[in-house]
Structure 1
Amino acid sequence: MLKGQDIVLLLLLAGEPSFGSTQRLADRAMLSVATTHRALHRLEDAGLYDRRRGRVPEAAAEEFLIHGVKYVFPAVRGSETRGVAAAWAAPPLVAELAGDGLPPVWPHTTGEVRGIALEPLHAVVPQLALGDPALHERLALVDAIRAGDARTRRLAERALPDRLRVPA
């Protein structure tokens, strides 16, 4: 069964041409080598990672993230808190959607946005998002699919595939 850190790794791998060793990937993902190794095995078992080629099958990842992730990892909201902009409150959707009320945020002590807590896929998500704008977009789009209304999900579903492609 997939875990939240597996999806974080999937999104990290999806936008990068190569990470080299498991150690480098683990360092980049702020996870232990053992956790990263097990996550790669689960992704491979699910058909979301090709270890031989060292890459994510884009079509499979797109299908799972658009149609399956919201059922496997349903959104859990919390109370008002400080954090990192998430879902439709973060780029790229923030420019397209005007929201009423407090925005969704991944709780984080150094976050600069006050909003309603949206439980991230894994505890490392806010910190990773702060350090990598492209990964932040991929994570936010997945959370928009997990937590958004029909219009928000449609916008996220249209924006996500381009961000899963490895640059040539």
Structure 2
Amino acid sequence: MNLLPQDVLVMLKLAVSPPPEWSYDRLAYQLGMSPSMAHSAVKRATRAALFDPMHKRPRNEALIEFLIHGVKYAFPPDIGATVTGVPTAFVSPEMQDSAPTDLAGEYYVWPYPNGEHRGVSLSPLYRSVPEIARYDAAMHTALGLLDSIRIGREPEQKLAEQLLGEMLG
């Protein structure tokens, strides 16, 4: 059993902005995946002790530990050319005001043809991430913080870890 990137996306959604009375259908729709993919993601997360099936919620302490210490190794990002997309990492909503000023030239985006920003391409955790970020501010923030952990230097990583930990409680 291996965790997949969409498993992290599903756990983040359930931790950050769960749909009221969530169902696999509603969760899948909001994350741009099939209900069977959402169900499989929860099953894998349960086996990895990231999800509590009794309470139908992520185990926040385990999830935070995995996000901070595991995701950058399990799902390393691909950094590419300058493209149009949706801001992430140090220029995502939460990091923009908090990141050190020496990062002003490092503008990362998830490639997205309808994006309004240009920057260095950073592969999203899952293909629907740029679309999700456009309508779900909490997920945009959480995924941007996660990208700051995936590609940042130690000061940015520490700040993103702190902010993500506060966000997930």
TM-score under structure 1 normalisation? 0.93
1:155 Cα deviation from its structure 2 partner: 0.5
1:113 equivalent to 2:117? Answer yes
What residue in structure 2 maps to residue 53 of structure 1? 55
What residue in structure 1 maps to residue 132 of structure 2? 128
| Cα RMSD after superposing both structures | 1.2
> Residues 83 and 108 of structure 1 are in contact (CA less than 8 Å); yes or no, is this contact kept in structure 2?
yes
Equivalent residue runs for 1:10-159 within 5 Å: 10-16=11-17, 18-97=20-99, 98=101, 99-159=103-163
TM-score under structure 2 normalisation? 0.93
Structure 2 regions of 5+ residues with no counterpart? none
Q: SS at 2:155's partner residue? A: helix
Letter in 1 for 2:64: E
1:153 Cα deviation from its structure 2 partner: 0.2
Q: Any runs of at least 4 consecutive aligned residues in structure 1 with deviations exceeding 3 A, and if so which?
A: 16-19
> Residues 19 and 25 of structure 1 are in contact (CA less than 8 Å); yes or no, is this contact kept in structure 2?
no
Task: Choose 16-25 or 83-92, whichever is displaced more.
Answer: 16-25
The whole-number CA distance in structure 2 between the counterparts of 1:19 and 1:88 is 33
Letter in 1 for 2:155: R
The whole-number CA distance in structure 2 between the counterparts of 1:51 and 1:129 is 27
What residue in structure 1 maps to residue 10 of structure 2? 9
The whole-number CA distance in structure 2 between the counterparts of 1:19 and 1:113 is 35
> Residues 85 and 116 of structure 2 are in contact (CA less than 8 Å); yes or no, is this contact kept in structure 1?
yes
Q: Indicate how the Cα distance of structure 1 residues 35 and 138 shifts in structure 2: closer, same or farther if over 3 A, else same.
A: same
> Residues 104 and 116 of structure 1 are in contact (CA less than 8 Å); yes or no, is this contact kept in structure 2?
yes
Q: SS at 1:122's partner residue? A: coil
> Residues 49 and 57 of structure 1 are in contact (CA less than 8 Å); yes or no, is this contact kept in structure 2?
yes
Report how many residues are paired. 165
Q: SS at 1:96's partner residue? A: coil
1:101 Cα deviation from its structure 2 partner: 2.5
Letter in 2 for 1:93: M
Measured against aligned partners, the alpha-carbon deviations of 1:30-65 in whole angstroms (never above 9, x if no partner) come to 110111111111111111111221001110011111
What residue in structure 1 maps to residue 164 of structure 2? 160
Structure 1 regions of 5+ residues with no counterpart? none
The whole-number CA distance in structure 2 between the counterparts of 1:123 and 1:43 is 19
Quote the sequence identity (%). 39
